[in-house]
Amino acid sequence: MTNIEKVAVIGLGYIGLPTAAILATNGLQVVGVDVNKRTVDSVNAGEVPFVEPDLGAHVAGAVSQGKLRATQDTPKADAYIVAVPTPFRADRSADLSYIEAAARGIAPQLEGGELIILESTSPPRATRHMGDYILSLRPDLSLDGSDGRPTIHLAHCPERVLPGRVMIELVTNDRVVGGVTPEAAELAKGLYSTFCQGEILLTDDVTAEMAKLVENSYRDVNIAFANELSIISDGLGIDVWELIRLANHHPRVNILQPGPGVGGHCIAVDPWFIVAEAPEDAKLIRTARQVNDAKPLWVVDKVIDALESAPLGTEVAVLGLAFKANIDDLRESPAIEITKMIAQRAPETVLNVVEPHIVQLPEQLREHENVKLTDLTVGLKSSGVVVLLVDHDDFKTAELTDLESKFVIDTRGILAV
Ligand code: SAJ
């Protein structure tokens, strides 16, 4: 294998574009590949089609120095990094069609000796599936040099960066690199060491795939425990926030925080890949998903109960729509699901939504005439029922006055002392 000088990054999304940019600013010749012409055009103009701190400067600098360009067609390269979506299907198994499409673009360009890295969050054995798929198109190649055929080196290297801190965490986080062969893992390590200052830990491909899924499942199971405690505590008439705070004084106990449900694109999705792979054995992981997915309905029932015993015409203040605190990201947000369900079940009730990080309601809520976006003061003033869904700092620091006269459902413990 010659030195890696030219890298093609397939998929210029939240992970692919930052990875392409950081490789380019560290001296490699990078071609970003995307099916979306608008994405390609904006990258070639040195612009970033989404919000991520510092990414704009990296992309603009790399493009103007001629180190980064984007195209819709996969070029020849020494290394390929695949960072395409892996959504789940209706039966919650992973949809690998984007990976297969990337492989179809790469296969005709291969000569032997190239490194191919799958970065997309993937179910176990997806990397091997990609390898087998490439070999079905290119039977003249091999993954391990068997039968003297030219070898392509295949590895999985999951990303674990936190949106909003991507350009920092790409450099500082440790990386798990799993090779289909030890040689592939070593080659991938060499490529990541051009920009990664964290530890680069080598393993096989399936263990690396599972490491990513397990990290997010670990969080999901522990959040489910907290969510279950919140429901049990409500039945017992005790304060779950106090309960968790006290229990966490034990030196070996560290319970996470309950909430209105689990949102975002990762923690609520990745555990299903394990369940789909091991349906008989992944009992706890499946149950945790069900517990967390059921929490929004429990919150809605609380609000409907409160409205039933409130005077006719009582309005509801909904505090927060984002999937977690202090961001504007509404993807898979339980707060949106809850607001929508209340709007449907109480169509006569006005819902005063307060979300300081957005300027207009998301599409899913716009169709409901009883849902309005407003500010905190107006929202609280008009409403007899208050449901706190996101622990934004704006809500923590605001003076939440007059709450004594209202029915308050605090799903995040903002009011807990
Ligand atoms: N949540 C709770 N209670 C808690 C902690 C979180 O209800 O105690 C909720 C949040 O409100 C949110 C959801 O869980 O709705 C997920 O939020 P998060 O901040 O825990 O995680 P994400 O989804 O933003 O990012 C995760 C991270 N993974 C882990 O922490 C193991 C991140 O490092 C990964 O890169 C990312 O998933 C990913 O891309 O997989």
Give me the DSSP letters along 388-401.
E----HHHHHS--T
Which residue in 67, 189, 266, 324 is the catalytic one?
266
Domain contains 236: yes
Residue ending a domain, among 149, 165, 198, is: 198
Determine the Cα–Cα distance for residues 62 and 56; give it in Å rounded to an integer: 10
Determine the Cα–Cα distance for residues 9 and 98; give it in Å rounded to an integer: 14
β-pairing, 115-118 with 153-156?
parallel
DSSP strand E in 157-293: where? 175-179, 200-204
Q: Identify the pLDDT of residue 111.
A: 97
Of 141-150, 282-291, 306-315, 361-370, the one with minimum mean pLDDT is 141-150
Domain contains 48: yes
Which residue in 212, 324, 340, 372 is the catalytic one?
212
Q: Which ligand 1 atom sits nearest the alpha carbon of residue 334?
A: 15
- By CB neighbour count within 10 A (0-12 exposed, 13-18 middle, 19+ buried), where does 344 fall? exposed
Is residue 313 domain-shared with residue 222, that is, in the same domain? yes
Is residue 186 domain-shared with residue 223, that is, in the same domain? no
Closest CA to 354 of 330, 377, 331: 377
Determine the Cα–Cα distance for residues 300 and 296; give it in Å rounded to an integer: 6
Protein residue closest via CA to atom 21 of ligand 1 = 267
Domain contains 206: no
Q: Given ligand 1 and candidates 245, 267, 333, which is best to mutate, with the most ligand atoms within 8 Å of its CB?
A: 267
Average of pLDDT values for 394-405? 82
Name the token pair of 194.
């051009």
DSSP 367: T
Mean predicted lDDT score pLDDT of the chain:
95
pLDDT digits (tens, 9 = 90+) for 11-49: 999 899 999 999 999 999 999 999 999 999 999 999 998
Radius of gyration of the chain (CA): 24
For this structure, is 406 an active site residue? no
**Who has greater pLDDT, 372 or 264?**
372
Closest CA to 178 of 151, 157, 152, 199: 157
Amino acid at site 5: E
Domain contains 189: yes
Average of pLDDT values for 297-323? 97
Domain contains 203: no
Separation of 407 CA from ligand 1 center, angstroms?
29
In the chain, how many domains are there?
Answer: 2
Residue ending a domain, among 168, 198, 228, is: 198
Is residue 372 domain-shared with residue 246, that is, in the same domain? yes
Name the token pair of 363.
């599409």
Amino acid at site 239: D
Q: How confident is the model at residue 53 (pLDDT cuts 50, 70, 90)?
A: confident
Closest CA to 269 of 297, 235, 293, 245: 293
Q: Which ligand 1 atom sits nearest the alpha carbon of residue 292?
A: 7
For this structure, is 196 an active site residue? no
Average of pLDDT values for 170-185? 97
Given the structure tokens 């950081």, which residue do they identify? 22
The yes-or-no verdict on residue 397 having pLDDT over 90 is no
Beta carbons of 135 and 142 less than 8 angstroms apart: yes
Q: How confident is the model at residue 1 (pLDDT cuts 50, 70, 90)?
A: low
Is residue 82 domain-shared with residue 180, that is, in the same domain? yes
DSSP 249: T
Task: Quote the domain boundaries for residue 187.
Answer: 6-198
Given the structure tokens 């030196």, which residue do they identify? 251
Domain contains 348: yes
Determine the Cα–Cα distance for residues 11 and 33; give it in Å rounded to an integer: 6
Beta carbons of 267 and 323 less than 8 angstroms apart: no
Q: Identify the pLDDT of residue 335.
A: 98
pLDDT digits (tens, 9 = 90+) for 60-114: 999 999 999 999 999 999 999 999 999 888 888 889 999 999 999 999 999 999 9
The yes-or-no verdict on residue 417 having pLDDT over 70 is no
SS3 state of residue 264: coil
Separation of 263 CA from ligand 1 center, angstroms?
8
Q: Which ligand 1 atom sits nearest the alpha carbon of residue 264?
A: 23
Q: How confident is the model at residue 2 (pLDDT cuts 50, 70, 90)?
A: low
Is residue 229 domain-shared with residue 161, that is, in the same domain? no
pLDDT digits (tens, 9 = 90+) for 221-233: 999 999 999 999 9
Average of pLDDT values for 252-264? 97
Average of pLDDT values for 295-314? 97
Name the token pair of 388.
């706190």
Is residue 189 domain-shared with residue 224, that is, in the same domain? no
Separation of 169 CA from ligand 1 center, angstroms?
15
Domain contains 132: yes
Name the token pair of 396.
């923590």
Is residue 264 domain-shared with residue 182, that is, in the same domain? no
Q: How confident is the model at residue 390 (pLDDT cuts 50, 70, 90)?
A: very high
Determine the Cα–Cα distance for residues 356 and 352; give it in Å rounded to an integer: 13
The yes-or-no verdict on residue 198 having pLDDT over 60 is yes
- Apex 139 CA angle, 134 and 140, nearest 5: 115
Residue ending a domain, among 144, 165, 198, is: 198
Is residue 250 domain-shared with residue 343, that is, in the same domain? yes
Q: Structure pTM? A: 0.91
Domain contains 205: no
SS3 state of residue 76: coil
Residues with CB under 6 A from ligand 1: 160-162, 215-216, 219, 223, 256-257, 259, 262-264, 266-267, 323-324
Protein residue closest via CA to atom 10 of ligand 1 = 324
